[in-house]
């Protein structure tokens, strides 16, 4: 190897080392969100008030307000998740030992299709404004699954996701969970 | 392989004579600046330029983000490297006389870039919004404010208002990451174009040799070796020293600030000029030096290249350099020999350490400041009776305690109030159940006459010989699990609700003294939910923030320690001071995960 080709070779090696030593550390922060466990993994439980505010046979839209860590920053309370609280027509609410009631159902407003917030009104029932997915609840005799999902557009892969809700000291406490859209089964994020 | 033409041009540019080590500084500087750009961009993925969040985000870069500490370390020491290399580059160019015709444009753009580099250093220093950056930068902006006529407006403009705040931070951030880099880009293009047009300024003998070689590969090799060395040094510093992070900025604290080492000479000049003369040190002398550098190409039109022939320009430069070095050294040695400054440094370092501990527990910057403040208040107002983190309570002397203290315990320590370490934790509650009369609990509290106040009112529930009171360890754990629910805090491991339910049942016996019954003697642990019919009982919040606030304001309240109380009220402390104290006391809980 003559002097020139040695130098060319050495330059290649040095340049490679410098490039690598600079590039590799930069990858850490860039890929950090997938390298490091995100969030605390805990599911906040939100008290939405006395359970008797939800009248028999109604669908109530409300929001769950939490104060979570947002990355390194603790945020003041802010809306986290929109929900429907649905009560059946029974006059009284029965509660089991764990605080769960068969008369109440809490559904996440996040559309299982791609995550828009689903709307509710008497005429249309549960309807997603984005791509017209329609949903029923167990309390409504809206028809069979086929009927519900019938129509030209009804792209949601599953029903609305229900959330764990319990009655504690006469108040409704709901666990905040966000589910992944687009999957046939309900899978919590993280 | 065909290279882009500017790369080809770089590789092919001719160097008169031979490759020389002295030509490496430009490339080294270019590399260091490129490294700043890359590490800076990566940090901008995480940094939040707001007075509320900046510190927390930098903390997270330093201690949470994968290799964030490394990238920040490279950026921190890289900043020093840029300043050093810019200085060396300037000096080398000066010595070789390369500032003169026809290279004036290269020189002037270079000098302007040096100004921008100082701007980078100044603006970057503030961004972590920690004590050092905050107070050091304030000196700089106050200097701008001291300039007659335009000063005040200038300062307001730089700060984005009359005071430091988020507006200051966003301005400094915008300057640091947008405006200054743009300025650099605008200047570096002509700087390099002129450089490639005229090439390096070789020493005379290289010129007369008539030979020339291409940049690639020999000079490129020198440059690369130099760059490798720079990177090696930076990496070593980043790994083994690490970028510093102080406590978060607290405008009300006493903090002695020093600028980064490369600005020390300016800092030192300030000491020599008083009153109206200050302007001389802050503006006139640095301004003259800058002007001198800019007009240098026109001051020196000699064709000769020897230093001797150029003495008229070399002498002021040499004088300036010596002065700069001397001022820096004097500043350093004055600080090194200043006992009170060194003591203050130790205090500041300690505060930074504690602050980072709090930050690690998820404090916001504000929360960290509050807890630090509370720590100071605790040490002023509380440690005459209480102990926490090893502060407070005297040691026994000759087996005796000062008169108003309890007895010496086996650790030869005197106590007159519960030790507050672990406050609010499981251990805290368990200790209370297991050994309420221990000196570190209520055992050695004396009344004014010097008699023990606590005479075994509460038995130990962990004494197997005391059959009527003994509780199995699992039962104790259950009661603790039940009671910690009252603090309103989050625990790691999280509260075991099943165990707590069991604990609630086992709590029954405690009710005689801790529920609102006739003849109750202990502080309320369980209380009636106001207005509930039929009566609903719930935890009274012992150990919660509200509880701590009541203890501060009225410890003798019948819900608390009642007639047995000997603790004075601290209701004279301002609400915010109480907040700070509570914020600090919260940090003592060892298994809580919420700040
Ligand atoms: S997001 Fe609801 S239908 Fe597409």
Which CATH number characterizes residue B118's domain? 1.20.810.10
When pLDDT is averaged across residues A5-19 and rounded to a whole number, the result is 94
B483 in a structural domain: yes
pLDDT digits (tens, 9 = 90+) for B234-287: 999 999 999 999 988 888 788 888 888 999 998 898 888 887 788 888 888 889
Alpha-carbon distance of B214 to B202, in angstroms, equals 14
Least CB–CB distance from A29: residue in B45, B216, B529:
B45
Residue B495, SS3? coil
Note the pLDDT of residue B524: 83
Residue B241 and residue B326 in one domain: no
A118 C-alpha to ligand 1 centroid (Å): 8
| Domain residue ranges in chain A | 1-36, 45-175
Across B14-31, average pLDDT: 90
CATH code, B330: 1.10.287
Domain range for B271 is 260-337
Residues B80 and B147 in one domain: yes
Q: Is residue B278 part of a domain?
A: yes
pLDDT band at A143 (very low <50, low <70, confident <90, very high): very low
- CATH fold of A45-175 reads Rieske Iron-sulfur Protein (2.102.10)
Give the residue from B222, B252, B282 where a domain finishes: B252
Within 6 A (CB) of ligand 1 lie A 111, 113-116, 128, 130-131, 133, 155-156
Query: Average of pLDDT values for A40-66?
Result: 88
Q: Which of B65, B216, B242 to mutate to test the interface with A (most CBs of A within 10 A)?
A: B65
Supply angle C-alpha B96, B102, B104, rounded to 5: 75
Mean pLDDT of B36-62: 92
Q: How many residues does chain B have?
A: 595
* CB atoms A22 and B35 under 8 Å: yes
Least confident of A81-85, B73-77, B141-145: B141-145
Mean pLDDT of A31-60: 86
pLDDT at position A142:
47
> What ipTM is given for this predicted complex?
0.84
Q: Per-residue pLDDT for B87 more than 80?
A: yes
The mean per-residue pLDDT over the stretch B494-514 comes to: 85
Which of A124, A133, A151, A180, when mutated, tests ligand 1's pocket best, judged by the most ligand atoms within 8 Å of its CB? A133
Q: Would you state the pLDDT for residue A41?
A: 67
Predicted pLDDT at B288: 92
Give how many domains chain B has, as a whole number: 3
Asked if residue B468 is part of any domain, the answer here is yes
Q: Are B224 and B279 found together in one domain?
A: no
Together in a domain, B284 and B145? no
**For residue B363, what pLDDT band results from cuts at 50, 70 and 90?**
low
Of A27, A69, A169, the CB nearest to B362: A69
Per-residue tokens: B206: 């290289």
B431 and B317: one domain?
Answer: no
Nearest-neighbour CA in chain B from A134: distance (Å) = 38
In a domain, B165, yes or no: yes
Whether A29 and B74 lie within 8 Å, measured CB to CB: no
pLDDT band at A60 (very low <50, low <70, confident <90, very high): very high
Same domain for B182 and B273: no
Pocket test for ligand 1, best of A110, A131, A159 (most atoms within 8 A of CB): A131
pLDDT in tens, B397-456: 666 666 666 666 655 667 778 889 999 999 999 988 888 888 788 877 777 676 777 777
C-alpha distances out from residue B237 to A174, B73, B80, Å: 50, 7, 11
* Nearest residue, CB atoms, B70 vs list A4, A25, A72: A25
Q: How many helices (H) and strands (E) does chain B have?
A: 23, 4
Is residue B97 assigned to a domain?
Answer: yes
Is B11 in the same domain as B144? yes
Do B322 and B217 fall within a single domain? no
pLDDT at A149: 52
Task: Examine the domain organization and report whether B181 and B95 are in the same domain.
Answer: yes
Structural domain includes residue B351: no
pLDDT confidence of residue A152: 45
Within this chain, do residues B192 and B236 fall inside the same structural domain, yes or no?
yes
Q: Which residues on A lie below 8 Å from B217 (Cβ)?
A: 4, 7-8, 11
B80, B411, B417, B460, B508 from B436: Cα distances, Å:
57, 17, 12, 6, 18
Atom of ligand 1 nearest to the CA of A116: 1
Ligand 1 atom 4, closest CA: A131
Using the 3D structure, point to which of B199, B225, B252 is the last residue of a domain: B252
A15, A50, B433, B550 from B527: Cα distances, Å: 72, 21, 19, 15
Residues B20 and B89 in one domain: yes
Pair B93, B203 in one domain: yes
């Amino acid at each position: 190897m003559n002097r020139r080709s040695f130098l060319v070779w050495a330059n290649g090696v040095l340049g490679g080392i410098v490039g690598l030593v600079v590039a590799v550390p930069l990858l850490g922060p860039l890929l950090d969100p997938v390298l490091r466990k995100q969030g605390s993994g805990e599911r906040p439980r939100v008290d939405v008030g006395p359970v008797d505010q939800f009248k028999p046979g109604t669908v109530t839209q409300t929001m769950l307000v939490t104060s979570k860590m947002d990355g390194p920053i603790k945020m003041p309370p802010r809306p986290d998740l929109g929900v429907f609280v649905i009560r059946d027509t029974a006059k009284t609410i029965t509660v089991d030992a764990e605080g769960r009631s068969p008369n109440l159902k809490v559904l996440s407003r996040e559309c299982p299709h791609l995550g828009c917030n689903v709307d509710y009104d008497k005429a249309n029932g549960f309807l997603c404004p984005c791509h017209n997915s329609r949903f029923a609840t167990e309390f409504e005799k809206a028809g069979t699954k086929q009927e519900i999902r019938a129509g030209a557009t009804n792209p949601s892969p599953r029903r609305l996701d229900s959330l764990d809700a319990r009655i504690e000291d006469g108040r409704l406490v709901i666990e905040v969970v966000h589910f992944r859209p687009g999957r046939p089964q309900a899978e919590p994020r993280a | 392989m065909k290279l882009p033409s500017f790369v080809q041009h770089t590789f092919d540019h001719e160097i008169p004579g031979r490759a020389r080590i002295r030509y490496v500084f430009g490339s080294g500087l270019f590399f260091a600046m490129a490294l700043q750009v890359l590490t800076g961009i990566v940090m901008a993925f995480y940094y939040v330029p707001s007075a509320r969040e900046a510190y927390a985000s930098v903390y997270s870069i330093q201690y949470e983000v994968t290799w964030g500490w490394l990238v920040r370390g490279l950026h921190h020491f890289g900043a020093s490297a840029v300043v050093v290399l810019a200085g060396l580059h300037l000096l080398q160019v000066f010595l070789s006389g390369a500032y003169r015709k026809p290279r004036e444009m290269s020189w002037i753009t270079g000098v302007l870039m040096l100004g921008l580099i100082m701007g980078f250093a100044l603006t970057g220093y503030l961004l972590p919004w920690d004590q050092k950056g905050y107070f050091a930068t304030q000196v700089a902006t106050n200097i701008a404010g001291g300039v007659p006529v335009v000063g005040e407006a200038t300062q307001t403009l730089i700060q984005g208002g009359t005071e430091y705040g988020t507006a200051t931070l966003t301005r400094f951030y915008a300057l640091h990451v947008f405006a200054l880099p743009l300025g650099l880009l605008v200047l570096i293009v002509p700087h390099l174009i002129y450089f490639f047009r005229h090439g390096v300024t070789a020493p005379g003998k290289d010129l007369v040799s008539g030979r020339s070689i291409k940049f690639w590969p020999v000079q490129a090799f020198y440059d690369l070796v130099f760059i490798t060395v720079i990177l090696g040094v930076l990496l070593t510093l980043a790994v083994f020293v690490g970028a510093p992070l102080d406590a978060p900025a607290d405008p009300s604290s006493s903090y002695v600030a020093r600028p980064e080492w490369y600005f020390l000479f300016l800092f030192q000049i300030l000491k020599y000029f008083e009153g109206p003369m200050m302007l001389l040190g802050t503006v006139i002398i640095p301004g003259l030096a800058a002007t001198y550098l800019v007009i240098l190409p026109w001051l020196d039109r000699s064709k000769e290249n020897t230093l001797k022939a150029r003495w008229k320009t070399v002498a002021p430069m040499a004088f300036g350099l010596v002065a700069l070095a001397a001022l820096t050294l004097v500043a350093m040695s004055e600080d090194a020999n200043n006992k009170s400054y060194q003591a203050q440094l130790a205090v500041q370092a300690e505060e930074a350490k504690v602050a980072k501990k709090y930050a690690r527990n998820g404090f916001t910057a504000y929360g960290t400041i509050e807890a630090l403040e509370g720590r100071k208040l605790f040490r002023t107002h509380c440690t005459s009776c209480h102990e926490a983190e090893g502060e407070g309570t005297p040691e026994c002397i000759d087996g005796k305690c000062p008169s108003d203290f309890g007895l010496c315990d086996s650790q030869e320590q005197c106590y007159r109030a519960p030790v507050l370490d672990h406050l609010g934790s499981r251990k805290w509650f368990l200790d209370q159940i297991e050994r309420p009369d221990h000196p570190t609990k209520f055992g050695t509290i004396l009344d004014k006459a010097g008699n023990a106040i606590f005479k075994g009112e509460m038995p130990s529930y962990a004494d197997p010989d005391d059959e009527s009171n003994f509780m199995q360890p699992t039962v104790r754990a259950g009661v603790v699990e039940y009671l910690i629910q009252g603090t309103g805090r989050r625990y790691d491991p999280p509260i075991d609700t099943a165990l707590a339910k069991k604990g609630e049942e086992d709590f029954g016996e405690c009710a005689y003294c801790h529920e609102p019954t006739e003849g109750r003697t202990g502080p309320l642990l369980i209380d009636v939910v106001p207005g509930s019919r039929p009566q609903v009982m719930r935890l009274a919040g012992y150990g919660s923030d509200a509880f701590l606030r009541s203890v501060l304001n009225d410890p003798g309240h019948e819900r608390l320690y009642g007639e047995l109380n000997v603790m004075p009220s601290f209701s004279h402390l301002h609400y915010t001071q109480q907040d700070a104290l509570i914020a600090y006391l919260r940090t003592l809980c060892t298994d809580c995960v919420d700040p």
